Structure 1
Amino acid sequence: MSPLSHFEAVDTWVFDLDNTLYPAHHDLWTQIDARMKGYISDLLGIAPEEAFRIQKDYYRRYGTSLRGLMIEHGVEPDAFLAHVHDVDLTGLDASPRLAAAIEALPGQKLVYTNGSERHARNVLEKLGIDAHFAAVHDIVAAEFHPKPTEEAYQRFLRAHGVDPVRAAMFEDLARNLEVPHRLGMITVLVVPHGEVIAARESWEFEGREDAYVDHITEDLAGFLETVAHDAPAPGAGMT
C-alpha cells in the first residue's frame, strides 16, 4: 500500500530526534550511551560493566535511564542531561534534502524527544533543519515522564494542542509507536540502513512486525518527499 493513502488528513508531523532525524550510522547515540555509562559508574562507584547493566535495566523498565536514576537514586536531572549530551557533533553534516522534504510537509512540525531541548536544538541546527520546527518537546517539558508511557504522550498532545487523528509520528523505536497508534496517530518506523547501531540492545528491535507500526522506511527524506509531493494540504477539496 502506498504511504500516501494514510496522510491526507495529517496537519501535525511529529519527529523523534536521535537516530530518526539524523542517520543512525553517526556515532551520536554511541557517545551519549557511553557518557551515561560513565556517569552511572562515577555516581554509584561501580565498574563500567555493572553501570552499563543498570543503565539498560532502568532504560527498559522506566523508559529512560534518567527516570530510573531519579526514582532509584534521587539523581538531579539537569546535571545528568548536561553531562550525557555533551557530545561531539563534528561528524554530523547538514542535510538540505531532508530540510526541503520537511519544509514541504503541510502543517506544523514538532520534535518530541526523551532527551533535552538543548541537545535537540544543537542537532537540528547542525542538520540545517531547525527553522522548520515549531517547537521541541523534551523530557523537561514532559516533567520527566518519558516515552513510551501513555501519560507522556497525553502531556505532549495537550501541550501543543495536537489532535492525534490528524498527526503522524516518526520514531526509530517500535515500542514508542504503540501508544501513538492507539491514540489515532499514523506511525512510521525509521530503521537504520543495514541495522548497525552498536549501542542498541536486541530487545530494542522488538515490535517491528506489530500492527501499531503503519510504515517502515530506511530513507526518511525519501519517504517525506513522496508524501509531500502527492498528499493534498489538510482540508483541500473539503466543503
Structure 2
Amino acid sequence: MKQPSLRGFGHVDTWVFDLDNTLYPHHLNLWQQVDGRIRDFVAAWLKVTPEEAFRIQKDYYKRYGTTMRGMMTEHGVSADDYLAYVHAIDHSPLEANPAMGAAIAQLPGRKLILTNGSVAHAGKVLERLGIHHHFEAVFDIVAAELEPKPAAQTYQRFLTLHGVNPAKAAMFEDLARNLAVPHQLGMTTVLVVPDGSQEVVREDWELEGRDAVHVDYVTEDLTGFLAGLNARDRLA
C-alpha cells in the first residue's frame, strides 16, 4: 500500500479537478461512448476498418496525450470538427451527486476544472452532476491551444491564465501520468482510481501509477476523500 504523503492540504487555496472518470465514477463508462465515436471518426477520416482505427486511436492517445492531437499532427484534422463529433454522446447515465457538491462546497478557496475535453462537454457533465455552480472556470483543450495534458506547457498556460500558485494548489486526476508535472510544480496530487467493485473499460496503462512518486494520495472514493479532509484536520 502506498505510504501517506508528506504533502497535505492545509495550505491549499485552489482545487483543480480533471473531469472525465474523476468527477464521476469510472464504472459509468461514459467515456466509452466518446471512445467509440473517436474510433468511428478515425475510421471515416482515414478510410480504414474499425479494428485498424481502434489501433491507431490508442496509439495516438498514448503517444500524443489525445487521439485528436495525433490526428491533427499526422493527418491535419480540424479540432473543431473532431470535438463536435466525439462529444456528441448521451450524458443521461450521469446523475446528480449532492454529496459531492457538499464536499466540494466545504473546500476553502477556488475550484477549477482542467480537462482535455471541451467546455461544452464539461458543461453538460457538471450540469448533470449538479455541481457546476461550485466551479469558477473550465480550462479545456481549446484554452490549452490544443496541447493536451500531460504536456508541461498546458499546465503553465492554465496556471498563468487563472493566476494559480501551484505551491498552494491540489490536483485531482484519474491518470497518474497527468499528475507528474503538477507534482513537480509543487501541487499536492490525488489519483482517483476505480473502486474495484464495478467493471471498467480502460487500457492497462491508464490504471498504472498508483505507487508513483508524483502521486501523493490515492482514493477510490473522491466524495468521501473530500468530505474527510476537514475531519482529518488537514484544512484547519
Does TM-score exceed 0.5, indicating one fold? yes
Equivalent position to 2:31, from 29, 32, 37? 29
CA displacement, residues 100-119 of structure 1 (integer Å, 9 cap, x when unaligned): 00011000000000000000
* Gap runs ≥5 in structure 1: 234-239
Q: Which residue of 2 aligns with 1:176?
A: 178
**Correspondence 1:191-210 to 2 at 5 A:** 191-194=193-196, 196-198=199-201, 200-210=202-212
Equivalent position to 1:111, from 85, 102, 113? 113
Equivalent position to 1:97, from 88, 92, 99? 99
**Correspondence 1:1-239 to 2 at 5 A:** 6-194=8-196, 196-198=199-201, 200-229=202-231, 230-232=233-235
Change (3 A) 1:42 1:178: same
Cα distance in 2, alignment partners of residues 209 and 5 from structure 1: 15
Residue 4 of structure 2 contacts residue 217 of structure 2 at CA under 8 Å; is this kept in 1?
Answer: no
Residue 165 of structure 1 contacts residue 183 of structure 1 at CA under 8 Å; is this kept in 2?
Answer: yes
Equivalent residue letter for 2:72? M
Residue 4 of structure 1 contacts residue 227 of structure 1 at CA under 8 Å; is this kept in 2?
Answer: no
Change (3 A) 1:64 1:133: same
* Gap runs ≥5 in structure 2: none
Secondary structure of the equivalent of 2:28? coil
Equivalent residue letter for 1:196? E
Equivalent residue letter for 1:59? Y
TM-score scaled by length of structure 2: 0.95
Question: Which moves more between the two structures, 120-129 or 82-91?
Answer: 82-91
Identity %: 60
Secondary structure of the equivalent of 2:26? coil
Cα distance in 2, alignment partners of residues 64 and 225 from structure 1: 32
Runs of 4+ that moved beyond 2 A: 1-5, 228-233
Cα distance in 2, alignment partners of residues 187 and 172 from structure 1: 11
